[in-house]
Amino acid sequence: MRVLIADEVDKECPARLRAAGFEVSERFDISAEELKKVVGDYEVLIVRSRTKVTQEIIESGKRLRLIGRVGVGLDTIDTKTAEAKGIKVINTPQMSTVAVVELVMSMMLNLVRGVHLANESMKKGLWEKKRFHGTELNGKTLGVVGLGRIGKSVAERAKSFGMKIIVYDVMIDEEAIKRLGAERMATLEDVLRRSDIVTLHVPLLPETKRMINERTLSLMKSGAYLINASRGEVVDCKHLLESLKSGRLAGAALDVYENEPPREPWEKELVALPNVVATPHVGAQTKEAQVLGAITIAENIINAFKPL
């Protein structure tokens, strides 16, 4: 069984696959053109988000039986074509939960205390003590939109900071809501109207695309903060830029963008705003998450090909 790893994956993955008898090629920077040429030699293709597994690539993969995505989102894989060809697609949705949650907590604290700005000021040799008056998370209301793996863990940690948690999700998980001591809102609009900080943890779906737009942004409390570490297209960032420039929103933290990297002038203006904390889609990038993802994908591939 031949496996092609097309994106950088922790060494635990090839090591475990080789130990189980798979023949593994590691070509971490392979181009789309080259991949199309060689994919026909492999039964298994492993990718992260860099490699787009398009219809063309799947159709060139004459022997392909399985595509493994180290990570959560399957939006970079043409799953319909894969399914039509009987190719299994698996991912590792749990790997990055803790990593994303900890990034979101750091964003929240950064936003309310201006750590990024104070740091920048110190590095310029300044001592602007009076400039950096923040607010506290304690006693504030956190609106969690999407109470799945990441949303629940963010809520859990925010609770320990003394925050009141309100949530909106299309699925109702009463047990989790009770455990978190959270309050469930009937609509997204209710969460936006009542939160001091809103954090988005929904998948990118037709219903969630631009769920934060001109109308819904206008419902947010004046002086509220928005955090998006889900998917860039969940937020209409042109309107987010306007809300931040006008001072209606106090700030935003973003790890994900419609274009990665941002390329339009308005996108560049957005990330350059002083009240925006921006990171380059690094939510899953901790050592622990990468090792967990590599082990999980390898074990799942080994199990998938085990004789019954």
Give the separation between CA 65 and CA 44, rounded to whole angstroms: 6
Residues 228-247 that bind ligand NAD (CB under 6 A): 229-231
Please identify the residue of the shown chain whose CB is closest to the bound ligand NAD. 148
* In contact, 219 and 192? CB cutoff 8 Å: yes
Residue at token pair 């960032």: 237
Give the separation between CA 132 and CA 113, rounded to whole angstroms: 7
Residue 202 in the binding site for ligand NAD (CB under 6 A): yes
Give the separation between CA 160 and CA 113, rounded to whole angstroms: 18
Name the residue nearer to ligand NAD (CB basis): 141 or 153.
153
Near ligand NAD by CB under 6 A: residue from 171, 246, 265, 308: 171
Near ligand NAD by CB under 6 A: residue from 61, 114, 251, 283: 283
Write the binding mask 106 to 125 for ligand NAD: x where contact by CB under 6 A, - elsewhere: --------------------
Residue 148: count of CB within 10 angstroms of its CB: 18
As measured in angstroms, the least distance from the Cβ of 238 to ligand NAD is 20
Residue 293 in the binding site for ligand NAD (CB under 6 A): no
Residue 205 in the binding site for ligand NAD (CB under 6 A): yes
Residue 147 in the binding site for ligand NAD (CB under 6 A): yes
Residue 149 in the binding site for ligand NAD (CB under 6 A): yes
Q: Name the residue among 196, 199, 201, 198 with its Cα closest to residue 224.
A: 196
Enumerate residues 6+ apart whose C-beta is below 8 A from 100.
Answer: 150, 229, 255, 283, 284
Binding region for ligand NAD (CB under 6 A) out of 55-63, 125-133, 147-155, 212-220: 147-155
Residue 296 in the binding site for ligand NAD (CB under 6 A): no
DSSP string, 165-188: EEEE-SS--HHHHHHHT-EE-SSH
Angle at 221 between CA 97 and CA 271, to 5 degrees: 55
Active-site residue numbers? 231, 260, 281
Residue 217 in the binding site for ligand NAD (CB under 6 A): no
* Chain positions contacting ligand NAD, by CB under 6 A: 72-73, 93, 96, 100, 145-151, 168-171, 201-205, 207-208, 229-231, 255-256, 281, 283-284
